[in-house]
Amino acid sequence: MVWNQIKTILLLGVLTAIMLTVGRLLGGTTGLTVALVIAIVMNAITYFWSDKIVLFMYGAKEAKKTDFPELHKIVEEVAHAAHIPKPKIYIAPIQTPNAFATGRNPSHAAIACTQGILQLLTKEELKGVIGHEIGHVTNRDILVTTVAATIAAVISYVANMAQFAALFGGMRNDRENSGGSIFGMLALAILAPIAALIIQLAISRSREYGADEASARVVKNPEALARALEKLESGIHQHPMQQSASIAATSSLFIANPFNATALLSLFSTHPPIAERARRLRAMKI
């Protein structure tokens, strides 16, 4: 857990360094400041209202305790063990087996399960999944990923400005810019967003490992989560979600990649390989 936190801090530091470098080469701090303000406003909106947006996107409805008593009992037990308020519970009418957590902090958290996951997993396996999602809540992963998204958005915005300037008239040196060739500037402007994306995805993968570990320690049954992940991988392969821009943008929220993972390069995946996650869980000593 500690290593995952250190790794996240280091990756955020690298993202920040890339942002400052691209901003400086663009010709000063003005463009960087404007981009930062825009990105912060956009991501603040996402941070405070992402739960409502995502739940609406997947057609999730709040689960009544009378209709889902066992699910409510599981969430209550895990939340109590994690020392957080019981999150709201939602059911998404989707056959792809999966689950996700949303909400900016433990007091404003929600957990959504698809119909598919409720049909696929045993009680103990589902408890491991709920532990993973509550791990995201207790680790403040929504905040971390929002910060990463903000910095990545600034890099992309400033890099686009640099590409435009390099292609249409070049860059002017000033007191805050040490200069450099237009071709070098253009190369950096193209490569920086790619590097930012890779780092952002690495942060996402690191948070998944952290949530797995949190589940194992709270639920005290890493084997159940390992089995659940393996079942989810198989179930998703049989019933993958249909890809779209909106689904792809929120795929990192789910406990397992909702698409067929074989179609994606691991470097550009929002989730670590299921086999590696299961191996780490089984190697834990609780």
- Find the catalytic residue in 125, 133, 208, 213: 133
State the Cα angle at 111 between 108 and 280, rounded to 5°: 115
Tell me which DSSP letter residue 263 carries. G
Burial of 85 (0-12, 13-18, 19+ CB in 10 A): middle
In this structure, are residues 166 and 160 in contact, taking their beta carbons and an 8 Å threshold?
no
* Residue 110 in tokens: 């929600």
In this structure, are residues 176 and 40 in contact, taking their beta carbons and an 8 Å threshold?
no
Whole-angstrom Cα distance, residue 200 to residue 194?
10
Full strand arrangement of the beta sheet holding 110-114: 61-62, 88-92, 110-114, 99-102
For the question of residue 233 being annotated catalytic, the response is no
CA distances, 28 to each of 23, 32, 178 (Å): 6, 7, 10
Whole-angstrom Cα distance, residue 222 to residue 127?
10
Entry field: residues in the chain:
286
Whole-angstrom Cα distance, residue 183 to residue 170?
9
* CB contact set of 216 (below 8 Å; sequence gap of 6+): 128, 131, 222, 225, 281, 284, 286
Catalytic residue annotation: 133
